[in-house]
Structure 1
Amino acid sequence: MTDAAVLSIRNASKTFGQRRALDDVSLEVHKGEIIALIGPSGSGKSTLLRSISALQTIDAGPGVITAFGGPVQKDGKIDSNVRKTRTRIGMIFQQFNLVGRLSLFSNVALGSLGRIGFWQAALGLWPAETKQAVMAALHRFGISDYASQRANTLSGGQQQRGAIARALVQKAKIILADEPVASLDPVSARRVMEILRELNETDGLTVIVTLHQVDYALRYCKRVVALKAGKVVYDGPPSDLKRDRLIDIYGPEFEDVFWEGAPT
């Protein structure tokens, strides 16, 4: 990990009506980190990821988001040159965000859109480099046998691995994963989390993943950031997230659903 931050969020706020989804959030992310974003529903986790990826604007004011030393947005406006930066940020969604009628191969190949022409992609005229990258990614994640199958006929776990493969073909250096295992069975969920950890440890990718499953955050991530009512209330190693701290983040009802074998 280098000293330079690949991602910087400074004083970012986001308001929806009367609700403050983000409240003066500041966060530095360094190259090669794997970070879990946790917190109760409505705490601002997804809003933060969408703001980092420029899928939505933050409020006008002092808030600034930069990635790879370049601006993403500030003062409530997306930077006009953000497209180049976004090609290096892969976004993975809870509902996979694949085009159901297209084959798995075509969905993954769409990760190369930032480097090839739109019409070339629309006609399926993929360059040899893209074809090789797609098949290598599908093989790596154990889904190459389904390359020609329509995405909407695949299981949730297969689709999510396809979404991660697309980010790999995109040549993303930062992966933002928004509840990537929320819709999956436990076996598929563990496989997806293992893939994200592998991409971090083997490929050196920076990974930020939002999770409702706190045990996954503690098991797979080396840094945990907790949000509550739009504010950062914890930022540190998973080893320091003890029962009392988690109950403070989630509320007293968390005790009722705390998993067996949790830290004390």
Structure 2
Amino acid sequence: MSDAAVLTVRNASKSFGARKALDGVSLNVSRGEMIALIGPSGSGKSTLLRSITGLQTIDAGPGVIEAFGQPVQSAGKVSKKVRDVRIRIGFIFQQFNLVGRLTLFSNVALGSLGRIPVVRGLFGLWPKETKQAAMAALARVGVADYAGQRANTLSGGQQQRGAIARALVQKAKVILADEPVASLDPVSARKVMELLSDLNASDGLTVVVTLHQVDYATRYCKRVVALKAGKLVYDGPASGLDRARLIDIYGPEFEDVFWEGAPE
């Protein structure tokens, strides 16, 4: 497996009024990595993920973001070729981002829209290849039995696995998951994290996942990146997140909610 960088962020900043959501952040993500992005609420995690895909523009200045060696944005402007990059990046949202009135199958098939005529997708005229890919993806994530159900009748965990299946139909090489388990019960959350881990280990997908659950970050990801007030304050092995470092990242209140069995 190549360790070539598939995502590169250099000196990226993003301001919302007087507040800096990102403050000179630089980050390289190599092919095949699974990275946890942690930090307090408002630290810039979601802003960073959205900036990587060009969904959020960074400030004008020296900041540059590239994916697969192609420009995503620089100097505060999104590249005109960003669509070529986005088709290879699957984005998993906290609230699933499925169309509730459509079946789970149709939602997953929508992952092919970047490669087929839009009108076919609008009318559900899916090519044979898309139908096969959608059912294979649903089976891969363990929800094929629910293919014909409307998305809004499914549990949160089932919908989130459907969102991951959509990224597989998209043929994404990178999955950016923004708090994918924040709205799920513990059992469903564990299943989603295990699925992302398996897609990384077995299918070679690069995964960057933002998490509030530090125990999930250290359990499923070898590398952890931490943001605090828009600045990158840790980038290293999960084993390096001892109690003192976590308190430095989250503040002294973290001691009160430190998980059982945390590293000393």
Please indicate, yes or no, whether the TM-score normalized by the shorter chain is above 0.5.
yes
CA distance in 2, matches of 1:204, 1:73: 26
Could you tell me which residue of structure 2 aligns to residue 37 of structure 1? 37
Alignment of 1:139-218 (within 5 A): 139-218=139-218
Alignment partner of 1:92 is 2:86: no
Equivalent residue, structure 1, for 2:261: 261
What is the CA-CA distance between 1:155 and the residue it aligns to?
Answer: 0.3
Name the counterpart of 2:53: 53
Letter in 1 for 2:243: R
Q: Secondary structure at the match of 1:255?
A: helix
Q: Which residue of 1 aligns with 2:13?
A: 13
**Per-residue deviation, 1:61:** 0.4
Partner amino acid for 2:224?
Answer: V
The total of aligned residue pairs comes to 264
In structure 2, C-alpha distance between the alignment counterparts of 1:108 and 1:58, rounded to whole Å: 30
Whole-angstrom distance in 2 between the partners of 1:241 and 1:142: 33
Deviation at 1:2, TM superposition (A): 2.3
Cα deviations across residues 114-145 of structure 1 (Å, max 9, x unaligned)? Answer: 00011000010101111011101111222111
CA distance in 1, matches of 2:162, 2:184: 14
Displacement of 1:175 after TM fit?
A: 0.2
How far has the Cα of 1:3 moved from its partner?
3.6
Secondary structure in 2 aligned to 1:253? helix
Q: CA RMSD in A?
A: 0.6
Give the TM-score taking structure 1 as reference length.
Answer: 0.99
Residue type of the alignment partner of 1:172: A
Partner residue of 1:219?
A: 219
Which string of whole-angstrom CA distances, capped at 9 and with x for unpartnered residues, describes residues 72-106 of structure 1? 00000000011011000000000000000111000
Alignment partners' CA distance in 1, 2:250 and 2:32: 28
1:27 counterpart residue number? 27
- Distance across 1 between alignment mates of 2:72 and 2:140: 31
Question: Which secondary structure state, in structure 1, belongs to the residue aligned with residue 252 of structure 2?
Answer: coil
SS state at 1:13 partner: strand
- Report the AA paired with residue 21 of structure 1: A
Q: Which residue of 2 aligns with 1:77?
A: 77
Moved over 4 A (4+): none
2:252 aligns with 252
Q: Deviations over 1:223-245 (max 9, x none)?
A: 00000000000000000100000
Letter in 1 for 2:64: V
Letter matched to residue 164 of structure 2: I
- Name stretches of at least 5 consecutive residues in structure 1 with no aligned partner: none
2:152 is equivalent to residue 126 of structure 1: no
How much has 1:221 moved relative to structure 2? 0.4
TM-score, normalized by length of structure 2? 0.99
Structure 2 distance, partners of 1:140, 1:71, is: 32
Q: Is the Cα–Cα contact under 8 Å of residues 32 and 205 in structure 2 kept in the other structure?
A: yes
Q: How far apart are the structure 2 equivalents of 1:81 and 1:66?
A: 11
8 Å Cα contact 2:179-2:212 kept in structure 1: yes
C-alpha distance in 2 between matches for 1:57 and 1:257: 35
Q: Is the 8 A contact 2:3 2:32 kept in 1?
A: no
Identity, in percent, stands at 79
How far off its partner does 1:34 sit? 0.2
Q: Secondary structure at the match of 1:198?
A: helix
Unaligned runs of 5+ in 2: none
State the alpha-carbon separation in 2 of the partners of residues 160 and 110 from structure 1.
15
Report deviation, 1:162.
0.2
Contact 2:15/2:22 (<8 A) preserved: yes
CA contact (8 A) 2:14 2:21 kept: yes
* 8 A contact 2:161–2:192 mirrored in 1: yes
Residues in 1 aligned to 2:205 and 2:143: alpha-carbon distance in whole angstroms: 21
Give the corresponding residue for 2:231.
231
Task: Indicate the residue corresponding to 1:64 in structure 2.
Answer: 64
